[in-house]
Structure 1
Amino acid sequence: MYDVRRLQTFAKVIELGSVSDAADELSFTPSAVSQQLKKLETEVGLQLVWRTQNGLVPTEAGLVLAEHTRRILRQLAAARADISDLAAGRVGSLSIGAFPTTAASFLPLAINEFNSRYPNIDLSIRSARLNKLISSLEEGEVQLALLWDYPWNPLTTEGIELVEVFTEPFVILVPQSHKLADRASVKISELATEKWVARGDDHPVVEVIERSGSRAGFRPQISMYANDYQETQAMVSVGIGIAIAPRSALSVQHPNVRVLEIEGTPPQRRTLLGQREERALSPLEMAFKSVILEQGALFASQQSGS
């Protein structure tokens, strides 16, 4: 295998046609350049240059080696650039986990911003429920994951490091024909006689409904368990019941549903970014985390102002 430094020296000599000029360019002495050429010729087993009155010219073997050397040096330069980009987080792949509500609302905004800064990153997204996201993090199927919890029941999982992205309030959904539809806000106690549309499959929003009712002194009557928030809105729009939802669940609002703020202290949901504790984030992961936190603060500001 030929020595790369000798190949670089040889390429410069061929380019300039002079040992002294190549030495000046490379910050070597002419003697050092000549020694490099002799050692390379020994490695190759053939003479590589002819010495003429007009300088050095390549032999036939020198021409062949010079062409390959130029190609090798270009590839090495490309490799250095690619490694530099990878180290700086400018290229690579990244797998992100997210729960469905944020995957349909906040995450696309963050991805747009991330893509504008890092257009050559191959992003893959896995949308799943909380328990699956945690196991995906633990098993290395995703590098980072957007998770959630409630302030009264904070998420604590051994081996997972969490940072808050934003906190958002729950709001009340009523049909446009409802007696409260013209209101901007409502007290939970005013909803004691209402029927509720909740999420099915043991969705945690049921706990929010029950806690809210309990604090206001009543037990909510649930008339339907919906599969998702779009179905929830559809059933609210036709009067099956009212509903409660985190504000980000309404990224696409049903035209026949009205949204009311909750007076007093509304229930809150936190969106968190999780990573495995034992591993340091790569530059690419750090870049994505930075964008998520930055966009989370902006998203929370927009939510509170809406």
Structure 2
Amino acid sequence: MLNEDNQDLFDIRRLALLVEVVEQGSITAAADLMMYTPSAVSQQMRKLEQEVGQPLLNRRSRGVAPTEAGQLLAGHARKIIGQMRAAQSDLDQIAGLGRGSLTVGTFPTLAGSFLPVVIRAFKKRYPAIGLSVRSARFDELVSDLEAGVTGLCLLWDYPWNRFSDDSIRVTEVFQESTVILVARGHRLADRDEVRMEELRTESWIVRAEAHPVVEVLQRSAHDAGFEPTIGFLANDYQEAQAMVSVGMGVAMVPKTAVALQHPDVRVISLGDAAPMRRVFLAQRQDKIYAPAEVAFQSTLLEIARDHHEDYL
């Protein structure tokens, strides 16, 4: 029987832990699977045993085994957990997460690095939602968002030129550093970190068409006391890496630009002096966010938390 002080329903999280402990035959294994510490799992099992009023697990030198009561309760718990998952699925359907479509705007650098990880996770969680991605330049992305072509979009800015628009809500996704690219045979190729002052005599490979990374380079060079010499205008970062790899110059790029790194290029940190780029999610302020948009944002921010160190 339940203790008189615990006549209410069991804690669903403890029941889920019990199922995993029984199935894994080990508190440690269950803790790893459920992302708890073993001591936390042991504590929750003791509390569940107190609620039940009898032992649920036999502790052994190597693992645990359920008592008769533990086996019985685990069987009921499996049914309860299955019903809870079914209930969540039904609620998601009502909320629109089991159908519909979503269009997301992004810029090329992110589309070739971080975003595919997010898309993979989102499609796995919400396979019935039709997801489209539109990659474009900054101004086009903002126009598409304002016109409703996209439900949300990913943008970027730097501290000296923060994006500001009262009609658009901004949520930071992550900060990424700026790095230096040199050829493997370059005099600095064995270094993990370099100062801008050491690069004053270099020829620089930059993006063409007044790309914003040119301003990042100029600001960093001016702070270091020199005017950068531009040796090559590249149409994209892959072309920039190719030119760096054959010794045509060095380059300054955001770290996501080298997610696919050229084998003959070395990536070197600028340390604390590295300009930081903010990547953020933009949404219109004047609309009610669709369930699919909320779900995508949640997935996006979760993945960003897991991977933020990759871009520092």
TM-score (norm 1): 0.71
**DSSP-derived class of the 1:289 partner:** helix
Contact 1:197–1:242 (8 Å) recurs in 2: yes
Of residues 108, 114, 119 in structure 1, which corresponds to 2:122? 114
Q: Determine the structure 2 residue equivalent to 1:42.
A: none
* Aligned structure 1 segments of 4 or more residues deviating by more than 3 angstroms: 81-84
Distance 1:84 1:180 in 2: 54
1:209 pairs with 2:209? no
* Bigger Rg, structure 1 or 2: 1
Contact 2:175–2:311 (8 Å) recurs in 1: no
1:247 pairs with 2:255? yes
> What do the CA deviations read for 1:114-144 (whole angstroms, capped 9, x no partner)?
1111111100110001000000000000001
Distance 2:207 2:102 in 1: 31
Of residues 243, 252, 272 in structure 2, which corresponds to 1:235? 243
Residue identity opposite 1:267 in structure 2 = P
Q: Determine the structure 1 residue equivalent to 2:298.
A: 290
Of residues 208, 216, 221 in structure 1, which corresponds to 2:229? 221
Distance 1:83 1:185 in 2: 51
Residue identity opposite 2:249 in structure 1 = G
Q: Determine the structure 1 residue equivalent to 2:184.
A: 176
Contact 1:86–1:92 (8 Å) recurs in 2: no
Q: How many percent identity over aligned positions?
A: 49
Contact 2:196–2:224 (8 Å) recurs in 1: yes
Q: CA deviation at 1:84?
A: 6.0
1:90 pairs with 2:98? yes
Does the C-alpha gap of structure 1 residues 250 and 93 become closer, same or farther in structure 2, counting only changes over 3 Å?
A: same
Q: Determine the structure 2 residue equivalent to 1:194.
A: 202
Contact 1:89–1:284 (8 Å) recurs in 2: yes
**DSSP-derived class of the 2:165 partner:** coil
Q: Determine the structure 2 residue equivalent to 1:151.
A: 159
Distance 1:85 1:269 in 2: 37
Distance 1:284 1:86 in 2: 12
Q: CA deviation at 1:91?
A: 1.8
**DSSP-derived class of the 1:168 partner:** strand
Task: Tell me the C-alpha RMSD between the 2 structures.
Answer: 1.5
Does the C-alpha gap of structure 1 residues 294 and 82 become closer, same or farther in structure 2, counting only changes over 3 Å?
A: closer
Does the C-alpha gap of structure 1 residues 284 and 179 become closer, same or farther in structure 2, counting only changes over 3 Å?
A: same
